[in-house]
Amino acid sequence: MSLCRLLFLLFNYSYFNEYSFTRILSSFYFGLRFDLTAISILTLPFSVLHLVPFALFYNRAYQFLLKFLFFTAGIFMLLLNCIDIGLFRFAGKRATADLLSIMSFGEDFTNTVPGMLRDFWYLSLLLLLLIFLLVCLYHRISIQKNPVKHVSAGSSNKFFLLFSHLFFLALIFIGFRGGIQYKPINILSAAKYGTGQYSSLVLNSPFTFIKTLGKKSLQEASYFEQGELEKIYPTLKTAKDSSSFRAENVVIIILESIGTEYIGKFNREKGYTPFLDSLIDHSLVFPHTFANGKRSIEGIPAIVSGIPALMPEPFITSVYAGNSFESIASLLKKKGYSAFFYHGGTNGTMGFDNFCRSAGFDLYYGRKEYGQDKDFDGTWGIYDEPFLLRMAQNLDKVDQPFLSVLFTLSSHHPYSIPQQLEGKFRAGTLPIHKSVQYTDYSLRSFFNVASKKAWYPNTLFVITTDHTALSEKSFYQNRIGMYSIPQLYFKPDGSLKGRNEKVSQQIDILPSIMDYLNYDKDYFAFGNSVFNTDQAGFSVNYINDTYQYIEGNYSLIMDTLQGNSMYNYSKDRLLRTDLISTDSLKAKLMETKLKAIIQKYNSSLINNRMIY
């Protein structure tokens, strides 16, 4: 396990380079506790079967069974650790059991494996090398062929055998629990030794996988009485005057994996999105926008239905997926809109098609509906440019007003771009940079075509991202920057322009669109409208059993074991100065709001109350 941790560190060093050598070294010491727990759990059958009477123990078939159990557990642990070496840079956390449910959707697993094996070929070799070392280690342990003759039947020897067996069982029990403390250790226990990415270094992937296996239900929180809760965090959005409703078309474009780090306008550098940079100059933009999750399967529900990812498992794969909930589609259909969701991926990917049906969309338009596999990228689906242009053409054929949501895919690993465009984009410094430029190029093509359409002048465009991806800058690798994404609102007539510094998030998009259109019905929303000047903006997210609440220039990180921490991220970009004790009033106010969000979120999902 320590060797796997070393390899994990070496391959992902840029995420941990802010820690001193001593601090990194200590993670190997603290991590032993979690390593022993994972090993104790996974090798439990192997360990217990070592306690059988001698005669059976040395049977050849029995030894084969032990060998099988040992290698099954060992290879499983090595496999998870090797997968996480490559996965961590995308997810920002250790692998958890929801990986199984995500892989089970449609053809995602079979479609992506070839590309992953190609790009991470070295991890396959690494896994084979580690398995070879495991086999060598096992066979170095010799077994006496005839130990029975060395053991007399005396009572003292029987007592010794009984004592040693009980002692061995006690060690297994302690290892299973991670110590002799009152409760077994869990993922949050790593926060005792340090928060942020440091806890990922202390943990190991088999441990996080085991500890999240079967964890699907939220628990009711009771921080506030119901009346007080509604005052702190109201989720009822009240209707506006029906005579003022704007029956404008709405087009939402969700860019795959394109975080703020890649956008020149937000970083005062060239960047990789020249068209998006130019569009920002003519849009109302929110540079302090943060994602509510770290994966596409979390980002889409947050944007479309305003449901943040505040639990270990994505909403789409959770036990609450069957709940009743509103979405931009279901709300606008009450006003006579038709609603479409475009995603060029193979139908069934991540369960988006079924989710869209639940969310009230009239049509899910995927790779199957596109129908021309000459534009297939070989892994995920249809390349961005032809797919965006297809949506522009299709919208010519539908009645107005309409809602159309498009989720791009070309900037997802393996970052494929059409062969005829090879050489058009600069390489950049990360593998994703070329495909980001291609998606930006595709966006330009879409707007060039769309601007000539009859529906274009009467359309509100919203552009955002599902989550962030690969990073090379320290700020974008910390707990705040790893969620930093764009959010902009564009009207062809120029009526929406400027830069708004308030904090916003993905779940604000639903109420913002409703607010802009002067929606005249009551509805439920976890987020707030960015157009509401009376409300301070905030963002909330969750990872590794730890919540984060961002408001203004401050971030509050809350976990039940380590305690809270608070940072001024505008001044302290690397989050090195904890202000929890020096600005306790601010911290208390933020904690109150965060607890209200947690209570309302848990209660709403548990009791199926996300519709008014």
What would the pLDDT profile of 553-569 be if each residue is shown by its tens digit?
A: 999 999 866 779 999 99
Are both 175 and 292 inside the same structural domain? no
- Mean per-residue pLDDT for 571-576? 92
Mean pLDDT, range 183-193, rounded to an integer: 72
Q: Select from 162, 184, 212 the last residue of a domain.
A: 212
On whether residue 240 sits in a domain, the answer given is no
| Cα 276 from Cα 410, distance rounded (Å) | 16
Q: Which residue has the higher pLDDT, 454 or 147?
A: 454
What angle (nearest 5°) sits at the alpha carbon of residue 122, between those of residues 117 and 123? 70
Same domain as 368, residue 315: yes
Confidence of residue 252 (pLDDT cuts 50, 70, 90): very high
- On whether both 146 and 271 belong to a single domain, the answer is no
Looking at per-residue pLDDT, the higher value among 150 and 82 belongs to 82
Cβ-contact 386, 439 below 8 angstroms = no
Angstrom distance (rounded) from CA 430 to CA 413? 12
What is the value of pTM for the model shown? 0.78
144-164 residue pLDDT tens: 555 545 455 555 666 776 777
Say how far apart CA 377 and CA 414 lie, in whole Å: 10
Which range of residues forms the domain containing residue 63? 2-212
> Which pLDDT belongs to residue 103?
62
443 and 352 within one domain: yes
Mark out the alpha helices in 120-239 (DSSP H runs): 121-140, 155-177, 198-202, 205-212, 226-232
- Range with lowest mean pLDDT among 151-155, 280-284, 334-338: 151-155
- Residue 573 located in a structural domain: no
Q: Same structural domain for residues 518 and 386?
A: yes
Boundary residue ending a domain (194, 212, 230): 212
d(CA 579, CA 566): 5
Question: Mean pLDDT over residues 447-467, rounded?
Answer: 98
User: How many angstroms separate the CA atoms of 185 and 242, rounded?
Assistant: 55
Domain assignment present for residue 568? The answer is no
User: What mean pLDDT value characterizes the chain?
Assistant: 89
Q: Where are the beta strands (DSSP E) in 293-421?
A: 338-343, 363-365, 402-407
Query: Which of 158, 191, 212 finishes a domain?
Result: 212
Nearest-angstrom CA–CA distance, 376 and 367: 8
pLDDT score at 387: 98
Does residue 394 surpass a pLDDT of 60?
yes
Q: Decide: 54 and 63 in contact? Cβ < 8 Å.
A: no
Lowest average pLDDT, out of 9-18, 338-347, 514-523, goes to 9-18
Cα separation of 289 and 403, whole Å?
23
Least confident of 250-259, 402-411, 502-511, 560-569: 560-569
Cα 602 from chain centroid (whole Å): 19
| Mean pLDDT computed over 180-199 | 72
Residue type, 246: R
In a domain, 222, yes or no: no
With a cut of 60, say whether residue 29 has pLDDT above it.
Answer: yes
- Statement to judge: residues 430 and 306 lie in one domain: yes
pLDDT band at 109 (very low <50, low <70, confident <90, very high): low
Shared-domain flag, residues 22 and 120: yes
pLDDT band at residue 101, thresholds of 50, 70 and 90? low
For a pLDDT cut of 70, what percent of the chain falls above it? 91
- pLDDT one-digit tens code per residue, 191-206: 667 656 777 888 888 9
**Rounded percentage of the chain residues whose pLDDT exceeds 90:** 60
CATH number, domain with residue 437: 3.40.720.10
What is residue 357's predicted lDDT score, i.e. its pLDDT?
85
Write down the pLDDT at residue 155.
56
